Amino acid sequence: MDIGKWKILAVSMTLICSLAIPVLAYTVYRTPLYPLSAGIILRTMQLGFYWNVECTQPVTTIDLGEVVQSGSTTYLQKEIFLRNEGSNPTTIFWNSTLNDLATVMTEGWTAWGMMPGPLNSTSVSPTEVVYTTYELTIPASTPVGTYNWTLTAWGETYI
């Protein structure tokens, strides 16, 4: 009977040591903590997209119509006015699912103003209205069909 008690004691001590030694080692020899700089990006949907510069006719869908293949490349454009409806300067970004359709069509979205260029990374002040053009290039080799895709635009406010 005494041998059984010693076995239980030995097993118990072994378990306690196997748990305590790693915790003690971690506490004594752990890597020191280093402060890291951190920031936050807030995404805002406080953007308005409009058909007119007065920003009274909101854009909900862009209908590019019907195109008859003529044997040459077709270029389509839609003018869209973008307004920052938030209270902070915002950087605009956009993407599209057009590439997911495995087509040869290409698209672009340009911001016009003091320095025309791609809409992505354009900074817009609160209440500022930006004239933009969404462009679609349809090569003659594009297969006949109906195409639908989604444009997503958002603003990021850096704090």
Q: Is the residue at 6 inside a domain?
A: no
Q: Domain for residue 88, yes or no?
A: yes
Tally of structural domains, the chain: 1
State which residues form the domain around 116.
Answer: 41-158
The CB-based long-range contact list for 67-72 (8 Å cut-off, 24+ gap) reads 67/138, 69/140, 69/142, 69/144, 70/140, 71/140, 72/140
CA–CA dist 117, 148 (Å, integer): 25
> Which CATH number goes with the domain that contains 48?
2.60.40
Give the per-residue pLDDT at 37: 41
Of residues 81, 77, 140, 142, the one with CA closest to residue 108:
77
Q: Which pLDDT score is estimated for 143? A: 85
- How far are the Cα atoms of 36, 39, 43, 65, 72 from residue 61, in angstroms, in the given order? 43, 34, 22, 12, 27
What residues pair up with 129 in beta bridges, in sequence order?
A: 83
> Is the pLDDT confidence value at 157 over 60?
yes
Whether 121 is covered by a domain: the verdict is: yes
pTM (two decimals): 0.67
Q: What is the mean pLDDT of the chain?
A: 78
Residue 131 lies in a domain: yes
